[in-house]
Structure 1
Amino acid sequence: MAEKKLSTDVAIAASPDIDAGDIEPQGFDHAATKKLLRKLDWHIIPFMSLIYLLCFLDRTNIGNARLDHLEQDLKLHGLQYNDCLAILFPFYIAIEIPSNIMMKRTRPSIWLTFIMFFWSLAMIFQGFVHDYSGLMATRAFLGVFEGGLFPGVNYYISQWYRKSECGFRMALFFSAATLAGAFGGILARGIAEMNGVGGKAAWSWIFILEGLLSILVSIFLTSKEKTEVERRLAEDHGPLSNEFDMKYVWQAVTDWKIYIFMLILMAGFCPIYSFALFLPTIIKNMGYTANDAQLMSVPPYVCACFFTIAASWYADKVRKRGIFLMGFQLVGIAGFSMLVATSKPSVQYAGTVLAAIGIYPQIPLGMAWNSANIGGSLKRGTGIAMQVMGGNCGGIIASYVYLTRDGPRFITGHSILIGFVSMAFFLTFFMSTWCRMENARRDKVALEVGTQELTEEQRLLERELADNAPWFRYTT
């Protein structure tokens, strides 16, 4: 194999460069492989999930703070609250590709620690603002430093696991977002009792205490196990180049398929951000008190967490993505349709549960699908960052989906989200169909050409083809 090396920087200890000749052709047996994966899971996933839980909590707890008189105390009016939600996303989007390039050039332990420390500071300062401009400024800084986490961790996971193993791990990591929604409601309900402590309102303490929690959180594998990780990835991804070269960034930027995945993720993140930022308000407008609304926002997230993990585990098992995405997209459409169709609180609340179940699993399924269909380490890192950039464009839209003037039913907002999820359904159907047809075409060409020995020059050229290499097959 003409592989020079695969990049496997780790968060705690960097792996050494391993030449192809050092990678044993014979891998671990089944029991040893399971033990290796268990070790990777215990060292990587819990800590990354905790970081993302805090990140998502810090980004969306403004929805809980709103119920504790944030708007009144800061004298926000008109669309100013929505502006404060939206300002985070342009900065968040702008940093994603540069951040993943930094993940490739430096150790993830250094980069992730750096961005986490500074987004936590921005979060704490958010609790000391006195007006609209102060809240806008702190939200902008929050976006700058949080932007690198989600694409960075998804890229990082793809550097440790095979394509058929990534979806479940990405789901475990992303499920932290659903837990953040549940945890945020419970935590906000408790912090509400601190109203007036130290001369500060309850919403200030939500920002300060959750920011401090994040800042507090700011000898791994044996040599033989590191070699086995390298061997498994080399076998899974084939002899594609993983060297640092900006031409691979350009390959990703000019790949039309990644833009389709960007739109699918945007149509997933738009309802998720809308849901996370406005669910307490939506439940309150069903007729419940602010404190009850904080607590009633928990069950939809718990259900979403279960289905997010279960669906991605099974999708990994059968090595399919599109069919699962389409199924959950239909569930999400049904949930938002229930919110539109009736004003009965019990049916509306059931609709929020179905909507949560339908939208949250789309993110890890979509991320794993895109990641599996990009060849080459640097192109994959760039493509993942591009996909998350597209997803977070949905966050900008989400900030203006639910407008105060449309309350208490928010029919316009729910209808917008039905439109976005429907768009995702048709794009998913298109990509799933295209991938099947392209795989069939490549199989036919391979059958016609047959087995032939490549020259050294042809091998070097093939290394740089990424997912256009003749032997590459897409996940459907």
Structure 2
Amino acid sequence: MDRELVPAIANFNDLDSIGALPGCMNMDHHPANVLISNGWDRIRQENRNPGLSERRDRPSYQHALTPELRVLREGVSITRTAPRVPFATLAGPDGLAWSPIFFQRQPTDKAEGLGIAASILRSRTLHQAHTMSDIETGIMKNPVGLNAEEKSTSPSLGPKAGSIHDGASQFVSPQARKSLTRKLDLRMIPIIMLLYLFSFLDRVNIGNAKLYGLEEDLGLVGNQYQICVSILFVTYCLFEVPSNLIIKKVKPDRYIAFITTSWGIVATLTGVCQSYGGLIAIRLVMGALEAGLFPGLVVYLTMFYKRDQLAVRVGYLFIASAVAGVVGGMIAYGIGFLDGSHGMRAWRWLMIIEGLPSVVIGIATYFILPESLEKAHFLTEEERQQLTIIRHEEIGQTKEAEKFHWADVKEGVKDWQVWIFAFSGFTNDIMFYGFSTFLPTIIKSIGSWSAIESQALTIPVYALGTGVYLVVANYASKNQLRGVVSASFGMISIIGYCMLIANRGAAVSYAGTFVIAVGLYVSVGLPLAWLPGNKPRYAKRAFAVGMQYFIGNTAGIVMPFLYTTASAPRYYTGYGVSIAAVFCSVCIFSFLAWYYTRVNRRRAAGLEDWKFEGKTEQEILELGDYSPRYVYST
């Protein structure tokens, strides 16, 4: 094999000379072109005219290594490389990463294998990944041009022990990745969606029950109904953070199964409640039991999926809440015809029929959900290893980071991002819970429809919100536009509330509920995955998610008093406060999108590399989202 020796280089910028060598690469097999731009090392295949692409403002990682580079006609090998500064995986804003792994200097003049390994995280910019099977994940395992003797003397090409990959250098093909993700989804997502669907249904069906005589049967007067609605959120908020911190300690699958079965029993007992005090007690207990579900499921999903996959999976949970509106409306419509059957009012049948499925699903959860990725019995040993490799490709996803450390909780307390997300959760949930709980009442107030007809008219509203969210969430996740999209759809929901306030007739007001649903589910749903996706360390992520839902759900305590009987039928107070709250969320999401973009650019330009000083490679890996290598989702 003909070789052309290139003089030793002193910094990355000198790699430009590679592209200047005529005919130095043959693109017939698995060529790699090195592109250093904006601080991100990329590897890409080009169909012709291989070479380096020029971009301005590239950072100067001076004297990173001093290799003797040999360019082969069908591959690249680097000899005698020696580290001068610590490096591990660098990830770009588009999800593409290139991992320089430097080996110790060898005392021979032979080509000692490939000293730079490419770790390609799947990216929208890498369309040719399927043609790069020798390069794609982990290493270039068999550099063309090395004979058997050279291969046998080559050092191990896997990452150093304790790195992000912890020594794993196995190849996971794109097809295998898709197959593994699909297998996870088919096993876990349906049951998880059902869990949250019936949780949400049991929490808000008191709004449907109001139209079927709950107030009259229990003798509720004044604001007692509003108190019954809001009291659930008191214990719901109080138990969210503690529940989220202990879920991993007590085995997530069993914990989720226990709380689901328990609240299902309590929700069913609501149907036999005989007094105001009894309803208060039931709602308090149900709030405490349901508190751990949604934030717990979000943290649970982070144990199986990468952050670029997380938004869609958390989105499925949020979709379940919209589907709960559709299902709840259909069930409420049908149960309306049971009013008086066997001497029971329709609202009692509603509580019993919607509570029992939670008991069944809770028991099934114990047998379906795995405790962890390592103990997922529906996966083969090879599949578990491959999924572990895939998850550990991300910056900050070390084995140590997946353990619970109180130091990470303290970091979460000090992180201003956690608190601003939590406040946006409160402003969003003012709109979300008000709309979800009182939509049947709102629809009945804007027209001359009966209680049963009002229940039926909620179905298409929820259905539209569900469909739009499915499409938009997928688009926003793929294009890294969560902040911009959340803010934009928040403005859409404001338009819907203005249509209700304008009171231009039943048709216009009813159309306004559709507009609200379109904006609401996107602007509330996307941020739920945005925060945990930007916190790679488990304990900090668990605290952040718990706090986001704790403060967010306090809106449920306030919300019922915005839709009082005295403010019917127009509910101007509720609509006006919702508009103000959503506008606050729009401002927050716009700011966060700008901030994360700015930080990513600073890190790409090397302006935060001072954080490397005085730290070992392992310490750098454990920095989590504070690492200069970490790229925030925007």
| TM, length-normalised to structure 1 | 0.92
Q: Identify the residue that residue 434 of structure 2 maps to in structure 1.
A: 274
The counterpart of 1:410, out of the listed 555, 571, 574, is: 571
Instruction: Output the CA distance in 2 between the equivalents of 1:405 and 1:447.
Output: 56
Instruction: Output the CA distance in 1 between the equivalents of 2:162 and 2:378.
Output: 21
Asked if 1:248 is matched to 2:392, the reply is: no
Which is higher, the Rg of structure 1 or of structure 2? 2
Q: Which amino acid aligns with 2:474?
A: W
Decide whether aligned partners of structure 1 residues 390 and 449 sit closer, same or farther in structure 2, where only a CA change above 3 A counts: closer
Judge conservation of contact 2:396–2:625 (CA < 8 Å) in 1: no
* Per-residue CA distance 1:405-464 (angstroms, 9 max, x = gap): 1111112211110011001001111111111122222223358769x8x87x63343344
Q: Identify the residue that residue 427 of structure 1 maps to in structure 2.
A: 588
Judge conservation of contact 1:167–1:364 (CA < 8 Å) in 2: no
Instruction: Output the CA distance in 2 between the equivalents of 1:381 and 1:391.
Output: 15
Judge conservation of contact 2:172–2:386 (CA < 8 Å) in 1: yes
Q: Which amino acid aligns with 1:465?
A: L
Offset at 1:343?
Answer: 4.1
Structure 1, 22-31 or 355-364: larger mean CA deviation: 22-31
Instruction: Output the CA distance in 1 between the equivalents of 2:250 and 2:230.
Output: 30
Q: Identify the residue that residue 468 of structure 1 maps to in structure 2.
A: 626
Q: Which amino acid aligns with 1:60?
A: V
Determine which structure has the larger strand proportion and give its number. Answer: 2
The counterpart of 1:27, out of the listed 164, 168, 171, is: 171
Identical aligned residues as a percent: 34
Task: Tell me the SS of whatever aligns to 1:68.
Answer: coil
Task: Tell me the SS of whatever aligns to 2:171.
Answer: coil
Judge conservation of contact 2:603–2:609 (CA < 8 Å) in 1: no
* Per-residue CA distance 1:211-237 (angstroms, 9 max, x = gap): 112112223211111112211221124
Instruction: Output the CA distance in 2 between the equivalents of 1:462 and 1:204.
Output: 58
Determine which structure has the larger helix proportion and give its number. Answer: 1
Judge conservation of contact 2:340–2:346 (CA < 8 Å) in 1: yes
Q: Which amino acid aligns with 2:387?
A: V
Asked if 1:158 is matched to 2:302, the reply is: yes
**Number of residue pairs the alignment of both structures matches:** 459
* Per-residue CA distance 1:68-126 (angstroms, 9 max, x = gap): 01111111111111100110111111111221222221222100011001111110111
Q: Which amino acid aligns with 1:37?
A: T
Asked if 1:214 is matched to 2:358, the reply is: yes
Instruction: Output the CA distance in 1 between the equivalents of 2:591 and 2:494.
Output: 18
Decide whether aligned partners of structure 1 residues 191 and 447 sit closer, same or farther in structure 2, where only a CA change above 3 A counts: closer
Q: Identify the residue that residue 445 of structure 1 maps to in structure 2.
A: 606
Structure 1, 437-446 or 53-62: larger mean CA deviation: 437-446
Q: Identify the residue that residue 11 of structure 1 maps to in structure 2.
A: none
Judge conservation of contact 1:179–1:302 (CA < 8 Å) in 2: yes
* Per-residue CA distance 1:242-285 (angstroms, 9 max, x = gap): 22221111211221111111122222222111111111111111
Structure 1, 188-197 or 146-155: larger mean CA deviation: 188-197
Judge conservation of contact 2:409–2:539 (CA < 8 Å) in 1: yes
Q: Identify the residue that residue 201 of structure 1 maps to in structure 2.
A: 345
Decide whether aligned partners of structure 1 residues 132 and 466 sit closer, same or farther in structure 2, where only a CA change above 3 A counts: same
Task: Tell me the SS of whatever aligns to 1:124.
Answer: helix
Q: Which amino acid aligns with 1:91?
A: T
Q: Identify the residue that residue 9 of structure 1 maps to in structure 2.
A: none
The counterpart of 1:119, out of the listed 263, 268, 293, is: 263
The counterpart of 1:37, out of the listed 175, 181, 184, is: 181
Asked if 1:351 is matched to 2:512, the reply is: yes
Instruction: Output the CA distance in 2 between the equivalents of 1:120 and 1:187.
Output: 17
Decide whether aligned partners of structure 1 residues 360 and 446 sit closer, same or farther in structure 2, where only a CA change above 3 A counts: same
Instruction: Output the CA distance in 1 between the equivalents of 2:531 and 2:435.
Output: 24
The counterpart of 1:372, out of the listed 533, 543, 553, is: 533
Q: Identify the residue that residue 392 of structure 2 maps to in structure 1.
A: 234
Q: Which amino acid aligns with 2:444?
A: K
Instruction: Output the CA distance in 1 between the equivalents of 2:392 and 2:355.
Output: 40
Asked if 1:108 is matched to 2:252, the reply is: yes
Instruction: Output the CA distance in 2 between the equivalents of 1:201 and 1:345.
Output: 29
Q: Which amino acid aligns with 1:121?
A: I
Judge conservation of contact 2:236–2:553 (CA < 8 Å) in 1: yes
Offset at 1:35?
Answer: 0.7
Offset at 1:325?
Answer: 0.3
Q: Identify the residue that residue 214 of structure 2 maps to in structure 1.
A: 70
Q: Identify the residue that residue 291 of structure 1 maps to in structure 2.
A: 452
Offset at 1:194?
Answer: 2.0
Which structure 2 segments of 5+ residues have no match? 1-86, 90-160, 363-376
Asked if 1:303 is matched to 2:464, the reply is: yes
Task: Tell me the SS of whatever aligns to 1:470.
Answer: coil
Q: Which amino acid aligns with 2:435?
A: F
Task: Tell me the SS of whatever aligns to 2:222.
Answer: coil
The counterpart of 2:323, out of the listed 179, 184, 197, is: 179
Task: Tell me the SS of whatever aligns to 1:120.
Answer: helix
Judge conservation of contact 2:162–2:618 (CA < 8 Å) in 1: no
Q: Identify the residue that residue 134 of structure 1 maps to in structure 2.
A: 278
Judge conservation of contact 2:395–2:624 (CA < 8 Å) in 1: no
Task: Tell me the SS of whatever aligns to 1:361.
Answer: helix
Asked if 1:330 is matched to 2:491, the reply is: yes
Instruction: Output the CA distance in 2 between the equivalents of 1:155 and 1:239.
Output: 14
Offset at 1:353?
Answer: 0.6
Asked if 1:258 is matched to 2:258, the reply is: no
* Per-residue CA distance 1:322-358 (angstroms, 9 max, x = gap): 0110111011111111101124110001100110111
Judge conservation of contact 2:397–2:536 (CA < 8 Å) in 1: no
Judge conservation of contact 1:262–1:390 (CA < 8 Å) in 2: yes
Q: Identify the residue that residue 542 of structure 2 maps to in structure 1.
A: 381
Decide whether aligned partners of structure 1 residues 67 and 322 sit closer, same or farther in structure 2, where only a CA change above 3 A counts: same
Instruction: Output the CA distance in 2 between the equivalents of 1:69 and 1:341.
Output: 30
Task: Tell me the SS of whatever aligns to 1:77.
Answer: coil
* Per-residue CA distance 1:303-333 (angstroms, 9 max, x = gap): 1111111111111211221011011101111
Structure 1, 368-377 or 328-337: larger mean CA deviation: 368-377
Offset at 1:372?
Answer: 1.7
Instruction: Output the CA distance in 1 between the equivalents of 2:340 and 2:395.
Output: 57
| TM, length-normalised to structure 2 | 0.70
Decide whether aligned partners of structure 1 residues 152 and 27 sit closer, same or farther in structure 2, where only a CA change above 3 A counts: farther
Judge conservation of contact 2:490–2:583 (CA < 8 Å) in 1: yes
Judge conservation of contact 2:229–2:560 (CA < 8 Å) in 1: yes
Instruction: Output the CA distance in 2 between the equivalents of 1:239 and 1:273.
Output: 34
Judge conservation of contact 1:27–1:232 (CA < 8 Å) in 2: no
Which structure 1 segments of 5+ residues have no match? 4-17
Decide whether aligned partners of structure 1 residues 437 and 460 sit closer, same or farther in structure 2, where only a CA change above 3 A counts: same
Greater length-normalized contact order (CA 8 Å, ≥ 6 residues apart): 1
